[in-house]
Amino acid sequence: MKTTRLIIALAALVLTSFGEPLDPSALGQIAIQHTGRIKPLQTFAQATLLQLNARSSHRLVAEDGGGDGKLDATEWLAQVLFEPERTFSYKTFRINNPLTADALGIEREEKFRYSFAELRDVFETLESLAQKASRLESDERDPVDTELIRVYNNVRTYLHLTDALSFLAPSPRFSVPAPEIAAELGLAPGRSEYSFYEVLATGPKLASGLRSVDLAAPATWSEEEASLFALARSLHEANRMLSTTAGILHIIPVPGEPWRPPHAEFFAGEERPVLTGLALIREAYLRRDQAAFDSGVASLNAVLSSQLPPDDEQARYLQSVPVEQIYNQLDPFYSAKFLYLFSLLALATGALFLRRPCYWLSALLLVTGGVLQIVGIGMRMYITSRPPITNLYETFIFVGAIGFLMGLLLELIQRKGMGLLVGGISALIMLAVSGKFGQDGDTMEVLQAVLDSNFWLATHVVTINLGYAGCCVAGVIGHIYLVQRLRYALRRNASRPQPTDDERKGLTETYAMVFGVLAFGLIFTFVGTVLGGIWADQSWGRFWGWDPKENGALLIVLWCAALIHARRGKMIGQVGMAAGAVLGIVVVMMAWFGINLLGVGLHSYGFTSGVARNLVAYCAIEALFLLAVVPLVWHLEWRAARWIKSQADAADTKRTAKAQA
């Protein structure tokens, strides 16, 4: 009973302090131009929080361990903009390297996340170490140096956000102690502190009051004259500071030019609709007035959208903002990932019991996940007005979708569950890998100039990735074939030394899939490589330059061609073909993004750090798999063949002896 009363009292205290909960999701509808792209503020919030915290939502864990809960990215951004002090204790900043925390002199956190309150105390140290590290060449920096620079930039980003609308908040800097002076300037009565925006609005009256001030003789000033001069000086200093720190929210559209931040409207005349709208939104947020907040956001959106003529190129991207909001809320790839996982679990369950119901459930989950993934790709194409692949992240999304379609096609042909297994594994792995490349923030960034061609993105890039998909799916089927072969080899014994007809048929069908899908991968990789050469000739004036990326594509073509020719020439058997297909995934991965780790060549625009260790680990796992499975299969089958031969020799000897008798 006492516990219940305590909880009620604490809830009452929270509601008294902060008012009724307010849903700031409408704030995410406002369009912003960031990193050259027009996007909803919701996307900006998610990308920023992902950059700072490695999560697109914020778990509320304050310094004292209290405040359990969860904020989505828009809720977090609203607090940072309107109530920044409230977020100082949130564990917002992730520091991946514990040695970085040691270098800063702060205590290591078990979950690698730190609050601004902690980092504020060591900010001078952080700034000094980060600047020292930034003066080093990139190849001279150790992991601690790299992490110091990243954390320092993240703290600066956070500070820019807290300052972005600081001109709307009352500040001691704009203090007017005398009520009569406030009344003379037209400021709201009953207060002694005002915001930069409120004082700026009194500009004509303030300037009029300063005309009679003798700037050369401050000792002769009256209290009113001193207050007016202090306000004018504070306005000048604050404006200079805001010009460098408040420019992160570029929400004011400008036809044919980069958008402007709100403070650009300070000296745009007496009418300041954007600043007025933001002030009303902030006031409604602090009052926890949901209706006024939503109405204020709607009004501000109407003001902002009216500043672009319908025929302006940027108006097209402004129209895609609502679609991007739906995309963010749907989060299709995250949902598809779990649908693929549950599809595989249903298929595994069907191998034990309830075979038919589990089969159809697995098929339904797989198709639902695939449709969701394809819809997500389509939405991204509409938002960016681009073909499906424009960056490394999208290659994995696309290849995963092709893996799903290939698996579905194989299942429609055979209807034995093999296609469901192949499609589910292929799509799930690609979506899981894509998550690593989506942690840097916005995954729909503006294209680099070398890639800014919708025609070649739709031909060369799509074609080469179809080839990647074919090779990877062939490798997945190769794994399945080797596991099947090992399983059947382990079943052999004295009573059943030979595989059954069903086992032979199953192996033959799986091998046919390996061969056919690998041939598909070879064809599209070859065509994509040729198209890439034509694009290179148009862009760089040469068809082939032995660039690392070009060499990687050629290596895939040569590897697939060598496997197919070796098999057709009977130089390798079905086991060798399957093992080669497995190694083909390694070859593809090295050419796909392993080349980018070199950071050299004309194709190094896809460079992404931090994946070398994972790539090496993957190659090691595949090598161990092949070294464990292939020799064991060969040994078991050789032993079974030897036993069969010994039995045949014994039978021949017995027949010979009987004939001689």
Residues 6 or more apart whose Cβ sits within 8 Å of residue 378 = none
Is pLDDT larger for residue 474 or for residue 501?
Answer: 474
The answer to whether 427 and 340 are in contact (CB under 8 A) is: yes
Close Cβ partners of 282 (under 8 Å, ≥ 6 residues apart) = 81, 82, 165, 168, 169
With a cut of 70, say whether residue 61 has pLDDT above it: no
DSSP, residue by residue, 414-440 = H-SSHHHHHHHHHHHHHHHHHHHHTTT
Do 641 and 513 reside in the same domain of the chain? yes
Helix orientation angle between 332-350 and 355-384, rounded to the nearest 10 degrees: 160
DSSP assigned state of 37: E
Tell me: pLDDT of 1 over 50.
no
Tell me what pLDDT residue 575 has: 92
Phi, psi of 40 (to 5 degrees): -70, 155
Residue 461 lies in a domain: no
pLDDT at 8: 39
Q: Give me the number of domains the chain comprises.
A: 4
Confidence check: pLDDT of 5 > 50: no
Distance CA 521, CA 528 (A): 10
pLDDT by residue (tens digit) across 65-89?
Answer: 445 578 899 999 999 999 999 999 9
Q: How far is CA 258 from the centre of its chain?
A: 25
If pLDDT is split at 50, 70 and 90, which confidence band does 263 have?
A: confident
480 pLDDT higher than 80: yes
3-class secondary structure, 344? helix
pLDDT at 94 over 70: yes
Indicate whether 503 belongs to any domain.
yes
Distance CA 498, CA 507 (A): 13
Domain assignment present for residue 626? The answer is yes
pLDDT band at 415 (very low <50, low <70, confident <90, very high): confident
Same-domain check for residues 474 and 592: yes
pLDDT score for 10: 37
Q: Last residue of some domain: 127, 144, 167? A: 167
pLDDT at residue 346 in the model: 95
- Tell me which residue of 118, 210, 190, 184 sits closest to 155, measured CA to CA: 118
Mean pLDDT of 559-575: 91
Quick one: 559 and 601 in the same domain? yes
pLDDT in the model for residue 577: 93
* Average pLDDT of the segment spanning 235-259: 78
Average pLDDT, the chain: 84
Q: How confident is the model at residue 355 (pLDDT cuts 50, 70, 90)?
A: confident
Q: Average pLDDT in the 94-118 region?
A: 91
Higher pLDDT, 452 or 264: 264
Encoded tokens for 386: 């681009």
Strands (E), 119-256: 171-175, 193-194, 252-254
For residues 120-126, give the mean pLDDT: 93
173 vs 364, more confident: 364
Between residues 492 and 411, which one has the greater pLDDT?
A: 411
Q: Is residue 36 in a domain?
A: no
Q: Are residues 183 and 143 in the same domain?
A: no
Contact 291, 279 (CB under 8 A): no
Residue 65's pLDDT is 44
Q: How long is the chain?
A: 661
Cα(45)–Cα(42) distance, rounded to whole angstroms?
5
Is 531 in the same domain as 604? yes
Task: State what percent of residues in the chain have pLDDT above 70.
Answer: 87
Kindly state whether residue 199 falls inside one of the protein's structural domains. yes
Per-residue pLDDT at 99: 92
**Cα separation, 7 vs 441, whole angstroms:** 38
- Indicate whether 151 and 83 sit together in one domain: yes
* Beta-bridge partners for 93: 114
Residue 373 confidence (pLDDT): 97
The predicted pLDDT at position 636 comes to 84
**Domain end residue (candidates: 400, 423, 441):** 441
Percent of the chain topping pLDDT 90: 45
Cβ proximity of 236 and 230 under 8 Å = no
Judge if 73 and 156 occupy the same domain: yes
Residue 566 inside a domain? The answer is yes
The domain in which residue 160 lies consists of 41-167
Least confident of 210-214, 332-336, 363-367, 403-407: 210-214
Q: Are residues 131 and 196 in the same domain?
A: no
434 in the same domain as 476: no
Pair 383, 495 in one domain: no
The set of residues, in sequence order, having a beta carbon less than 8 Å from that of 323 and lying 6+ positions away, is 379, 382, 383
Total Cβ atoms within 10 A of residue 263: 26
pLDDT of residue 215: 64
User: Lowest-confidence range among 22-36, 494-508, 573-587, 606-620?
Assistant: 606-620
pLDDT of residue 170: 87
**DSSP of 486-550, one letter per residue?**
HHHHHH--SS--S--HHHHHHHHHHHHHHHHHHHHHHHHHHHHHHHHHHHHHHHHS-S----HHH
Instruction: Kindly indicate the confidence band of residue 4, based on its pLDDT and cuts at 50, 70 and 90.
Output: very low
Give the pTM: 0.82
46/48 Cα distance (integer angstroms): 6
Contacts of 249 (CB under 8 A, 6+ apart): 32, 164, 165, 261, 262
Q: Which of 303, 407, 312, 328 is closest to 362 using CA atoms?
A: 407
Residues 611 and 503 in one domain: yes
Between 229-233, 239-243, 344-348, 605-609, the lowest mean confidence (pLDDT) is in 605-609
Whether residue 224 is predicted with pLDDT greater than 90 in this model: the reply is no
* 256 found inside a domain: no
- Supply 624's token pair: 């161990």
The per-residue pLDDT for range 511-555, each reduced to its tens digit, is 999 999 999 999 999 999 998 888 877 777 778 878 777 888 899
Q: Are 373 and 446 in contact (CB under 8 A)?
A: no
Mean pLDDT in residue range 368-380: 96
| Residue 312 resides in a domain | no
Q: What is the token pair recorded at 510?
A: 């799986």
pLDDT at 298: 94
- At residue 18 the predicted structure's pLDDT band, cuts being 50, 70 and 90, is very low
What are the φ and ψ backbone dihedral angles of 59, each rounded to 5 degrees? -85, 130
Domain endpoint, select from 245, 271, 294? 245
Same-domain status, 544 and 487: yes
pLDDT value at position 213? Answer: 66
